[in-house]
Amino acid sequence: MFDFGKGLSRLKRYASTALLMIGALAIMFAGANFAARFFLPARSVANDVFAALDWPGSAASRELYRNVFKLSANDDPMARFSAAPPLVMHPTLPFATQKIDNRYYRVGLEGLRYEPGWSDGDVGALLAGSRPLIFALGGSTTFGYGLAGDETWPHMLNGILSANVLSQSAATRPVVLNFGAQAYDQRTETDKLIYLLRRGYRPTKVVMLDGWNDLFIARSNMRAVDRVVYHGFAQGRGEIAFTPAGTINRPSYIHLLLGDPSPLQQLIRHWREGPRQIEAVKFDRDAFVDGFDFREADFAFRHWAFFGEHHREKYKSEIVAYYRTNLALLKALADAYGFALHVFYQPIGILDDTNPFVSARARGAPGYRYISELVDVARAAIARGDLPMVDISQALDNVPGPRYLDTAHYSPEANAVLARTIASRIR
């Protein structure tokens, strides 16, 4: 006859032994990972031009913001920066600006940055109505990172254009819609424009301000059409969401749960693969033929300055080809959808000798020569008529006050000049 008491006692012993074994394995795994941290080489932080810059938050920058924004002693000079919206994933675009509503920023329908006083209802009516629409597309310098809603160049352009047509009824006056998004380059702006056209929105004009974000093609070693939109992968946890050798609809839930590879996994990878070198990273990797390597993509992103310097001559040709291809597509869209296209090459803050955020050390650091030479090549191509863009990179040369809030982003005074310059070209 089965002795229930003895069976239960035996089961308890087995369970206790199993728990002890699991606990011991967990302790061993944790110990191995703890030890691996000491053997892992330090994650290399490239000593490039960005590492040599002054950034918002320094004592000097805070004083500059107090002057630029006319702040009192009790005002937080970093408020505009800390209130800025983060990036979020989007199902079809690489990434988008998060919906937000605070003192300085209002972002809502279609990722649009609202003008002061606008509501969702106002924006919906504009997009669905018959009023002439001017789409302003660009990166964070168009969006207005570090700026309140009435300090961006699209807002100021709105004011200029409205003042020029006061005799017209409000329903027929053109209105500028700020579709700028942080970290967008000309390629992602084109993706956004196609998205908006597919949604059924019809602009009368499209104004694009490009240059700064386009320079960082060296952040990826892929072909231009395959280039990693790194911010999208960073937001979506690329390798974790879609694990190597897995299918798209069957992600690794262990990876999703644990996040980044454990120190032990990283150490095993390092021993197996060895340190990566710039020369060993394939240039213009074809995703269809050569595949895609997450670790190589991460390495190229972190060492963009050295990778760009190493392949500088190739990137000079590539930046012109990149613009030429984009602009041909944009022209085809303009012809097909009946809008006027205006593409401007923007002032590049890191190359402005008056920019207080760019030190002499930064101008001698890896990456600065790469940026400088690519800008020269792009501007020369525009000047000889090879690229149908308008070069306004010198528009801020006579601005007496501070032109920049950091390496790239414009002050309100600089945006006022840009708005006037753009207005004079699109009338």
Cβ neighbours for 101, distance < 8 A, ≥ 6 positions apart: 107, 108
* Number of domains the chain is built from: 2
Same domain, 24 and 67: no
The rounded Cα 272 to chain-centroid distance in angstroms is 33
pLDDT of residue 89: 82
Q: What is the rounded distance in angstroms from the CA atom of residue 1 to the CA atom of residue 193?
A: 79
Would 140 be classed as within a structural domain? yes
- pLDDT over 60 at 209, yes or no: yes
Same domain, 28 and 160: no
Of 394 and 14, which is predicted with more confidence? 394
Same domain, 84 and 116: yes
Q: For the ranges 14-23, 149-158, 266-275, which has the lowest average pLDDT? A: 266-275
Same domain, 56 and 35: no
Read off the pLDDT of each residue in 327-352 and give the average, rounded to a whole number: 98
Same domain, 10 and 150: no
Percent of the chain residues past pLDDT 70, beyond the cut: 84
Cβ neighbours for 154, distance < 8 A, ≥ 6 positions apart: 113, 136, 142, 144, 176, 177, 178, 180, 419
Same domain, 99 and 60: yes
At residue 247 the predicted structure's pLDDT band, cuts being 50, 70 and 90, is very low
Same domain, 34 and 149: no
Same domain, 153 and 8: no
Range of the domain at 174: 49-217+312-426
Query: pLDDT tens digits for 143-193?
Result: 999 999 999 999 999 999 998 876 677 778 899 999 999 999 999 999 999
Same domain, 138 and 18: no
Task: Give the CATH number for residue 398.
Answer: 3.40.50.1110
Q: What is the rounded distance in angstroms from the CA atom of residue 137 to the CA atom of residue 69?
A: 25
At residue 242 the predicted structure's pLDDT band, cuts being 50, 70 and 90, is very low
Would 253 be classed as within a structural domain? no
Would 168 be classed as within a structural domain? yes
Would 156 be classed as within a structural domain? yes
Query: pLDDT tens digits for 360-377?
Result: 999 999 999 999 999 999
Same domain, 63 and 178: yes
Residue that has been written with the tokens 């008056």 in this structure: 354
Q: What is the rounded distance in angstroms from the CA atom of residue 184 to the CA atom of residue 2?
A: 73
Would 141 be classed as within a structural domain? yes
Q: For the ranges 95-104, 203-212, 213-222, 296-305, which has the lowest average pLDDT? A: 296-305
DSSP 158-218: HHHHHHHTTTS-GGGS-EEEE---TT--HHHHHHHHHHHHHTT---SEEEEEESTGGGGGG
Same domain, 1 and 54: no
At residue 91 the predicted structure's pLDDT band, cuts being 50, 70 and 90, is confident
Q: How much is the pTM?
A: 0.85
Same domain, 7 and 72: no
Q: For the ranges 26-30, 114-118, 125-129, 309-313, which has the lowest average pLDDT? A: 26-30
Would 230 be classed as within a structural domain? no
Q: Which one, of 140, 139, 110, lies nearest residue 127 by Cα?
A: 110
